[in-house]
Structure 1
Amino acid sequence: MNRNVYIFLLIGLFLASCSQKVRIVLLPDTQTYAEKYPEIMDTQLNWIAHNAKHINFVLQQGDLTQNNNDKEWQTVKNAFSKIDNKVPYILAVGNHDMGSGPGKFADVRNSSIFNHYFPFNEFAKQSHFGGTFEPEKLDNSYYLLNTGKVKWIIITLEFGPRNEVLAWANEILAKYPDRLAIVNTHAYMYSDNTRIGEGDSWRPQAYGVGKDVGEKAVNDGEQIWEKLIRKHANVRFVFSGHILNSGVGTLVSTNDAGLPTYQMLANYQEGVKGSIKGGNGFLRILDLNFKKKTLSIKTFSPYINEFKLEKEQNFDFENVNFGLTKQE
């Protein structure tokens, strides 16, 4: 192992073992691995399993599969089974994970295959499971996790969440104002460090589900911000994937309570500029230090055992307000 990589991982293990420090791993858009390179996804999940005692939870940002077929879903299921009962993980449904059939990307809002391979009953029996928007469907669900003294609520939202879903999410977040919140969804940030909005490529409104109206109408990133995120003082992070181009974007916005919301896009799939083998196994490691009020983001591949060192892939925030009020 590269000496610098080894030292970083040792430091990370120490940090994550302290009660005032939290480690989150992000696994964006695994679709190319599911389709072409299952061994890369296996390497990612094996690495997480090996380091499970030092990782608080794992968040996946959707597009688990490329073609929404049984072969790819079985590949994904086999990979994630490596961390079952070892570290909590939460999945998102992307546009490639729903549709009227294999290869039909979000032409209709049908996620039956996803819910077959990741059934409600398996997640509902976990102690940190909160609930779902629709009975026995994980597309929109929330989880109540504790890391030391920090209480979390994590909401995962479908691709282009419907108006009725955002209304539900507002109710859930309002019910747990004492918990630090993360919103995990597939399509939110764009590659120009803004939220997805009018004129952007791959906007949810451009897909078949985008034709729905009323309570079923979809929402892009800017609409999710206006209708949900900005209203809640406790939402400190929003994570998403989906967008190609550079595949990265970062934005810090001030919500209605005057508190910061850290919003990040990370995507390494086939089609992203410079992508090799659908991302070469890169994932994101977030280290939160509540005592020092810092947030460190590293992009690491267990597959090739390398870090991305570009500033948009390797960066830190200082003076992070992890509290629920401006005074904390």
Structure 2
Amino acid sequence: MEWIRLIGIIGWMIAFASTATLRAAHDGIDAHAHRHALPQFAQAHVVGSYPDVGSAKQNLQRLLAQSESVFTMIGLPDTQNYSEFYPSTFLAQTNWVASQRLPKNIRFVSHFGDVVNHASVAFEWQNAEAAMSVLDEIGVIYGVCPGNHDITPSGIPGTSYIPQHFAAHFGPQRFAQRPWFGGASPSGMSSFAYFNAGGIPFLALHLDCDTPVAELAWAQGILDTHKDRPALVTTHKYLQDAEDYISGVPVVASGRYPPSWYALEDFYNPAGIQSDELYLWFLRKNTNIFLVQCGHFHEEYRQSSLNVAGQLMHEVLADFQDDPNGGNGWMRILTFDTIDGTIDFDTFSPTLGAVRTADESDFTLSVPFENFALPSVVQFRAFQQGISGYLGTRDTWISEAAPNTSYGDNSTRVSDDDVNNAFFSDARGQALVRFDEIFSAQKIPLTATILSATLVLDISDDIDSPIYDPDFFVYLVERAWEENSTWNSLTGGLTVGTDLGLQLGVFTGDNAPDSDSMRRIDLTSAVTSWQHGHPNHGVAIMPEIIAGNDDGIAIRTSENVNTILRPRLEVTFVSSAIPLLADLTGDRIVNAGDLAILLSAWETPHPFADLNYDGTVGAADLAMMLAAWT
């Protein structure tokens, strides 16, 4: 029926525009002068005069394009008081969603957690079920994350962890038959969903409270396989606004919970991590996340943080449970416009029939959605031990001070210009890492064109010398080694020029001043060379040699208990065959003519001869061309 009504309106608009144009031309009247006489619908949406039906159609197409780019998402902050004391308010919220689903084009609903006040009280879950079942009945896509009150008897940290009640009511079995449901973590406490809106395929990820590393390992695998979708994340406890909450007294700065906060408010999930760790270890690394929403702290607050690509990721807190009547039914209305690249946030109460107009309640965020997803032709693969079933990482370190000792089972590997930490001892430590089994039709095809490859390392113990700030160098390894290799088995350690080839990158060993332990090193040329037949012996991390310095770094290994901080290789590529890419003359074969073009562009950023897109024409491009020779 909606389509029939829309077709009728379209026909009326075209007919009216044509009639108005003809009448204005006949009477010699400027159509602009009579815009006030147009019916309200046309006056509000159709701009300018109408010299012919064609321009009316163009206006109509623009109107329809805009309507398709605009949609609404609803945020339901902490409903625990409604489930216990005011069930009619909870029901009013979801009934309003049902009534406005079509008028406002509501495409997704996100619950911020704390569905109930007491996880073990049955009638609270029954009230929540009654309200949330309205969303099931109308078929709207939605997700729910657990809050601290959903996993403990009364929301108090350090008390019994009882997640089974949330899992029973809002676990994966509730959504299993929904075509939009993507899946859940092994615990069932985190989940994701798909929804398409505004011409964009989105992914919505709902994470467990205090989000344990095991949940993040699962979530990382989900995001790794969906880099073509902009992603939004909802988790219950992430931001706080303590300054505003306590009338401006700056006990802690507003934002993510600082480490000192956890001395006062402990974890609700016994395996939980701090919210700043959630950002550093997970959120900022995933460049398709554009929005993080949360509740828990009884305030409104927002901030924006950079991801590893330098893009702003917006973080928004909303929790109204301190308002009268358990929260007065306040909920968030997010209006997306994917053409303008904006999200308008409004705060509305269906029980009051009112909106909040303060800046913290009514604001607009800029989101260039196209920057938060890879183009459809670009594919992404990540290789990290224990993520999505990958088990091919090999890493170790060798020590001059213990030349016959193998460190392949260590949770960290060392790169150090003096592992003895003795003044002027200078006993070396050298680190190695390799990613095996990365080329196949399902991983990186041998015929693919690699666009980028990045090694991601985490420094668990950085340099602490007040005198020196040494660098660490990443080299292509040219000899075989295994995790049980030792200093002596590698004939006295690794030597540049014999055991080590091309220097691939350099990074500082000091995590100060912002305690950022992540290092990202460009391995595009190395991975491309391995793809085209060069033996893959991985890379070595070598210390800068400074006489008298006794400081090095410890790097987390593939055996580290923190799965998401293990070494990681990220690769983007296009699947077009190399022969097509290397055919520079366009004659559908790769021969001397193509080679002549490549050699003439040697060491320049030639737009076509730079086959591996590393910024300059060189040996890697030549290897690709020779591999495609016909």
List per-residue Cα deviations over 1:200-226 (Å, max 9, x = no partner): 3797x60453xx4xxx3x122211100
Q: 1:59 aligns with which of 96, 106, 110?
A: 110
Segment drifting more, 258-267 vs 83-92: 83-92
2:91 maps to amino acid = D
* 2:125 counterpart of 1:76: no
Q: State the 1:281 CA deviation.
A: 0.4
Aligned-residue offset at 1:16? 12
- CA offset digits 1:46-82 (Å, max 9, x no partner): 1011112221110000001011210100000001111
- SS of 1:277's partner is helix
Task: Identify the range of structure 1 (115-124 vs 84-93) with the bigger mean alpha-carbon deviation.
Answer: 115-124
Report SS of the residue matched to 1:323. helix
Structure 1, unaligned runs of 5 or more: 1-9
Distance 1:258 1:242 in 2: 28
Which residue among 338, 352, 355 is the counterpart of 1:290? 338
| Mapped pair 1:301 → 2:362 | no
Aligned to 1:5: none
2:145 maps to amino acid: A
Identical amino acids, percent of aligned pairs? 29
Task: Give the length in aligned residue pairs.
Answer: 299
CA separation of 1:180 and 1:315: change in aligned 2, threshold 3 A: same
Q: Which residue of 1 aligns with 2:238?
A: 188
1:24 aligns with 2:73: yes
Contact 1:16–1:23, Cα closer than 8 Å, also in 2: no
- Is 1:93 the counterpart of 2:146? The answer is yes
Give the RMSD, CA atoms, in angstroms. Answer: 2.5
Q: TM-score, normalised by structure 2?
A: 0.45
Q: Map of 1:94-243 to 2, 5 A cutoff?
A: 94-99=147-152, 102-103=153-154, 105=156, 107-134=159-186, 137=188, 139-191=189-241, 193-200=254-261, 206-207=266-267, 209=269, 212=270, 216=271, 218-243=272-297
Distance 2:302 2:154 in 1: 30
Choose 1 or 2 for highest CA Rg.
2
Structure-2 separation of matches of 1:198 and 1:157: 20
User: Using the alignment, how far apart are the partners of 1:104 and 1:297 within structure 2?
Assistant: 28
Q: Deviations over 1:206-251 (max 9, x none)?
A: 0453xx4xxx3x122211100111001100000000012xx11101
SS in 1 for 2:361: coil
Q: Contact between 1:15 and 1:22, CA under 8 Å: does it hold in 2? A: no
Specify which structure has the bigger relative contact order, considering alpha-carbon pairs within 8 angstroms and separated by 6 or more residues. Answer: 1
Cα 1:174–1:326 change in 2 (3 A) is: closer
User: Is contact 1:182-1:235 (8 Å) kept?
Assistant: yes
User: Could you state the TM-score of these two structures normalised by the residue count of structure 1?
Assistant: 0.84
Q: Is the alpha carbon distance of 1:142 and 1:264 closer, same or farther for their aligned partners in structure 2, counting shifts above 3 Å?
A: same
Correspondence 1:38-57 to 2 at 5 A = 38-53=87-102, 54-57=105-108
Which digits, 9 at most, give the CA deviation of each residue in 1:122-174, with x for residues without a partner?
Answer: 30110111111116x2x111112211421111111111011111122112111
The CA distance in 2 between the partners of 1:265 and 1:157, in whole Å, is 15
Partner of 2:307: 255
Q: Which runs of 5+ in 2 are unaligned?
A: 1-43, 46-62, 244-253, 376-630
Shift of 1:121: 2.4
| Alpha-carbon distance in structure 2 between the residues aligned to 1:93 and 1:17 | 35
Cα distance change on mapping 1:126 and 1:308 into 2, 3 Å: same
Shift, 1:317, TM fit:
2.5
